[in-house]
Amino acid sequence: MSNTNASPYGTLPPASPVAVRKPISLPRLNELRARGEKITMLTAYDATFAAVADAAGVECILVGDSLGMVCQGLTSTVGVTLDTMRYHVESVARGIRRVQGTTWIIGDLPFGSYQESKEQALRSATVLMQAGAHMVKLEGGGWTTEVVHFLVERGIPVCAHLGLTPQTVHALGGYRVQGRDDAGAAQLRQEALALQDAGAAMVVLEMVPEALSTALTHELPRSHTIGIGAGNGTAGQVLVMHDMLGVNLGKNPKFVRNFMLGQASVQAAMAAYVAAVKDGSFPVNAEHAW
Ligand code: KIV
């Protein structure tokens, strides 16, 4: 008998097909890493895509401020506000709850929401945690170490973000590979080690040479390295969902693979991404890295 009360739009089943999976938590991510299994992460910004990513077996959803580009049509992430981030984290968390999903949700702290003081960072992180995030992410090293320590001490898991940090694109002079020369690599290494000591449980390494991110992965046993354009030696991988589904009119950066090719559904494409990260066939250093 059909359910006449069912919504005609974007139905979500009551339980995720991967409900048998244990809920993803920090200890669970540590377990994956300890047995050499790669951690998978994708961005998502709304309830339906988040639920589909959960059903495809993705372990971590990053509600990234990349939504400024892919949802809001901005030219950088600088214009994204905390209120916008709260809205999207809430939508993702609701989608995951509706399918009784198990995914770990990371909320990105936007530009201007943590730079002023550690107290401001705590207030902003609280907004995203109360919206349903399990962890917050913030960009940069050096001055952020103190902020990370402050948040972690107060029970907020933190993911750091080094290498290309898009919120500071204007200071960096463009979207460029970071840590290429000896001085840049040494600074990145020093910042990453300090962030691990401050308690960052994860660190996104964006557009960093493969040799450096692989070395850092060995040096950071307590801070799981998640690469994007950083080669296949990291503890996990992340891609922006729209890019890996080929949903854009522009040219993808070289570190992206279009996982939609040859797949009949978005869920199948996401499952193919999970499989390729887990079996080490994505990324390919010669093709996707520096
Ligand atoms: O905002 C975002 O989606 C990100 C990823 C590209 C890592 O920070």
- Say yes or no to pLDDT of 19 above 70: no
Return the number of other C-beta atoms located less than 10 Å from residue 265's C-beta.
11
Atom of ligand 1 nearest to the CA of 65: 1
Range from 8-12, 96-100, 169-173 carrying the lowest mean pLDDT: 8-12
Structure tokens at 289: 């890295």
Quick one: pLDDT at residue 159? 98
Question: Has this prediction a pTM greater than 0.85?
Answer: yes
| Per-residue model confidence as pLDDT tens digits over 222-253 | 999 999 999 999 999 999 999 999 998 888 89
**36 CA → ligand 1 middle, Å:** 24
- Say yes or no to pLDDT of 2 above 50: no
d(CA 276, CA 38) in angstroms, rounded, equals: 10
Q: How big is the chain, counted in residues?
A: 290
Nearest CA to ligand 1 atom 1: 64
Instruction: Spell out the residues 6+ positions from residue 28 whose beta carbon is closer than 8 angstroms to its own.
Output: 22
Whether 228 is in the pocket of ligand 1, judged by its Cβ within 6 Å, is yes
Quick one: pLDDT at residue 101? 92
Quick one: pLDDT at residue 10? 83
Q: Are 84 and 67 in contact (CB under 8 A)?
A: yes
| DSSP secondary structure letter of residue 253 | P
Mutate to test the pocket of ligand 1, among 169, 175, 206, 224 (most ligand atoms within 8 A of CB): 206
Mutate to test the pocket of ligand 1, among 58, 108, 226 (most ligand atoms within 8 A of CB): 108
Nearest 5°: the CA angle 269, 160, 150 is 140
Average pLDDT over residues 277-286: 97
Q: What is the SS3 assignment for 22-89? A: CCCCHHHHHHHHHCCCCEEEEECCCHHHHHHHHHCCCCEEEECCCHHHHCCCCCCCCCCCHHHHHHHH
